[in-house]
Amino acid sequence: MPNRPSGAKAGLTRELVLDAALEYLDEHGLPALSMRKLGARLGVEAMSLYRHVPNKDALLDGLVDRVMELAFAGLDDPRDGWVPWMRQFAHSLRAALVAHPGVLPLAATRPVNSPDALRMSERWLAAMRAAGLPLGRAMDVVNVIATFTIGHTLAEVGRTPGHEGSEPDLDQRSDELDPAEFPNLTEVIRTRAGLDFDHRFTEAVDILLGGYAALD
């Protein structure tokens, strides 16, 4: 497949591979991502990728790590208070996940004790303690906000990890919905009550943070 003279270097890097993988993932979805197709996109055979990545799982882990890093970028100093910092982090994480929906199922199911994830947890804890929170409480707040954000965004993006648009959104299929069988759902669609994901997420995060803040 490569039209480059055989044996010549294509100039791959781990970073380039991850870039291409992330792009492919966001365009075509997780099930469509294979080493062969990723290689093809880079003008290279599948096996070449293994010079830069030990195996497919590690590649996927790298993608999760990347998006997590993205969520951390540009956060304020936590010493201004853990509540605003955590709120900012929650919204930043949600934005990063929405921007890379293909990574979402991965972020949700990767083990929490991979080296990357441990580094991430350490950073969270450091930030929260810098804001004056005791360790146990910091663990609780961090974990609750992170898991809620991932869970909620998962439902928000809400399609099979397969390529997007395979199913229409709930509010686009009001026609096919039998009002006799689904009276409440049809009313939801008609009145558009409770379909605002932004509002729901913001409100829930504030409830959680407010609740923890009141626990002193």
Partner DNA sequence: CCATCAGGTTTACGCTGTAAGCATCGCTAG
Partner DNA sequence: CTAGCGATGCTTACAGCGTAAACCTGATGG
Binding site residues, DNA, CB under 7 A: 1-2, 4-12, 33-37, 39, 44-48, 50-52, 55-57
- Is 204 an interacting residue with respect to a copy of itself (CB under 8 A)? yes
CB closer to DNA out of 12 and 90: 12
CB closer to a copy of itself out of 16 and 112: 112
CB closer to a copy of itself out of 99 and 195: 195
What secondary structure does DSSP assign to 70-130, as a single string? HHHTT---GGG-HHHHHHHHHHHHHHHHHHSGGGHHHHHHS-TTSHHHHHHHHHHHHHHHH
3-state secondary structure of 18: helix
CB closer to a copy of itself out of 39 and 101: 101
Q: How far is the CB of 113 from a copy of itself (least distance, A)?
A: 5
Give residue 35's identity as a one-letter amino acid code. M
DSSP state, residue 179: T
Cβ count near 103 (within 10 Å): 25
Among 17-25, 40-48, 68-76, 156-164, the segment contacting a copy of itself (CB under 8 A): 156-164
Residue 157, both tokens: 């993006």
Residues 115-134 as x/- pattern, contact with a copy of itself by CB under 8 A: ---x--xx--xx--x----x
Rounded distance between C-alpha atoms, residue 37 and residue 34, angstroms: 5
- Is 55 an interacting residue with respect to a copy of itself (CB under 8 A)? no
Rounded distance between C-alpha atoms, residue 33 and residue 125, angstroms: 34
What secondary structure does DSSP assign to 128-174, as a single string? HHHTT--HHHHHHHHHHHHHHHHHHHHHHH-S-SSSTTSS--GGG-T
**For a copy of itself, which residue of 8, 73, 180, 193 counts as binding (CB under 8 A)?**
193
Restricted to residues 157-186, the positions that interact with a copy of itself (CB under 8 A) are 158-161, 166-170, 173, 177, 181-185
Binding site for a copy of itself (CB under 8 A): 57, 105, 108-114, 118, 121-122, 125-126, 129, 134-140, 143-144, 146-152, 154-155, 158-161, 166-170, 173, 177, 181-185, 187-188, 191, 193-195, 200, 203-204, 207-208, 210-212
